[in-house]
Chains A and B, each alone.
Chain A
């Protein structure tokens, strides 16, 4: 199939680009990334395809290695045991929209013409990246003396800039105008997201570590991160944030009544007329597991599955796939329904039979956590 070939080519380019990136050849890396995205510009989920495929290959390799060293039976047993780190990775292999890796984002560059005013200029260009100065990120001012900073790898420079901004945010203009490389660092999504998270987590407010975006959404949401940082609304809720391809946001919060939570976030979130706030119970069927430790692990994993798992928002029904000990969960807005068959877990319809009204608890379910799902549109102005 022509499309398949294209994707394959893009994937191999993408991989080559990652290698270049790791070796510090940023110019080559960017050229290859551009080529890859140009080939599949209609396929926005290339990141996800690659991530899933890489993850799948790694698991296969690990599995084979384990089987070789420890024999089939033991491996089977390991797979069955309560959520180990493998289970965690399982959850993370679900369908994310991702923007770069968590550790290091590819710096995104300014299109020269888009330098308008402060906020607008910080928007990412729609398509082409300009070339990054490659091997010489720092040119020495005085050739005679050494430039020790050029020894440091990119992620440490990022770290330095982040810490500088944490200690004194008003040094941003000076840092940005030091040199092109520093400037690029201040334009990355990752920096602003990090700052938001540091701020919010320190105050135990909003855990945004589940937020991942694809490159096309990054443009929109970057502004949101920046706005979030500037406005610093202080919602008094504890929660997790998930963003979706259609621009909706889901906020899972356990601490506070939803209309209050929404009011707090009003500065940066556009609340449409039909906002849903649904009380949701995450349940686990009783007597599923006899061992105390396994139960605890399973419920924690289930909660993580809720947050990190693959979600679909389909006509306002939230469908979540997660595997914990081979159990599949479907969360409708109100009722958790256990699927018999993984295939059935694709999605389900909410109807009168499986809809449970709040306060009307189903006896066979242990309620692990309750919270509110708030659906709202991200600030788009």
Chain B
């Protein structure tokens, strides 16, 4: 069992295989070895988020790990190629898991990025991407509370520049 401490000092105890879904933790554990029994502090993740992330790791503890020897940019399709075709689908459990409010969603993405859990990061990003796609700019802005920093002329111009995309 591995002990993890969140930023608000809550301790979590998980199986090693679960913890190793995080490449960061996996590397740390390899360095520490079996001798040290103390908890690993995670100052960037609070208890609520960590609990959620560990839930994901527990569910996916037996999945194949993605290849780590490729450059980050190449990794995407390396992993996708390994899965079956149509790999952009999200399975049911994952889709229910990730149905959370924006705040928590972004925190999960940040945590997955920090802990280096690629599958969870992708899941989070795809979820947000699903929220973005098909929306108008105004809807996107509302969704994320972003101000429009274009003038109406600029905005119109950008739309015109990119309208070829609709034909693809």
Contacts and interface: CB of A to CB of B under 8 A. Distances in A.
B155 to A, nearest CB: 5
A183 B72 contact: no
B162 A160 contact: no
Interface of A: 85, 102-103, 115, 117-119, 121-122, 133, 138-142, 145-149, 151-153, 156, 159-161, 163-164, 166-180, 183, 186, 190, 194, 197-198, 201-202, 204, 209, 230
Given A115-B157, A166-B88, A209-B71, A179 B162 contact: no
A34 B113 CA distance: 30
Nearest to A149: B144
30 contacts: A103-B72, A119-B164, A121-B161, A139-B146, A146-B145, A148-B103, A149-B102, A152-B110, A153-B113, A156-B125, A161-B132, A168-B134, A171-B132, A171-B134, A171-B135, A173-B158, A173-B162, A173-B163, A174-B136, A176-B158, A177-B137, A177-B155, A177-B158, A179-B141, A180-B150, A183-B150, A183-B158, A190-B73, A198-B77, A209-B73
Contacts of B155: 177
A103 B73 CA distance: 6
B109 A118 contact: no
Interface string B148-168: 111000010111111111101
A39 B65 CA distance: 46
B129 A164 contact: yes
Interface string B105-120: 1110110010000000
Max chain B C-beta neighbours (<10 A), residue from A140, A170, A198: A170
A147 B80 contact: no
Contacts, number: 162
Contacts of B136: 174
A146 B109 CA distance: 17
B76 interface: yes
Contact of B164 (A118, A168, A180, A190): A118
Contacts of A202: 77, 80-81
A156 B109 contact: yes
B83 to A, nearest CB: 11
A202 B157 CA distance: 33
B13 to A, nearest CB: 28
B136 to A, nearest CB: 5
A130 to B, nearest CB: 13
B76 A198 contact: yes
A209 B133 CA distance: 27
Interface of B: 69, 71-74, 76-77, 80-81, 88, 102-103, 105-107, 109-110, 113, 121-122, 125-126, 128-130, 132-137, 140-142, 144-150, 155, 157-166, 168
Contact of A141 (B105, B146, B150, B161): B146
A141 B149 CA distance: 10
A118 B160 CA distance: 7
A178 B133 contact: no
B145 A167 contact: no
A273 B69 CA distance: 41
Contact of A167 (B88, B144, B158): B88
B127 to A, nearest CB: 9
A151 B141 contact: no
B162 to A, nearest CB: 4
A91 B85 CA distance: 32
Given A103-B73, A152-B110, A167 B130 contact: yes
B146 A171 contact: no
A138 B126 CA distance: 21
Given A139-B147, A151-B106, A170-B168, A176 B162 contact: yes
Given A148-B103, A171-B135, A177 B159 contact: yes
Contact of B140 (A151, A172, A178): A178
Contacts of A85: 69
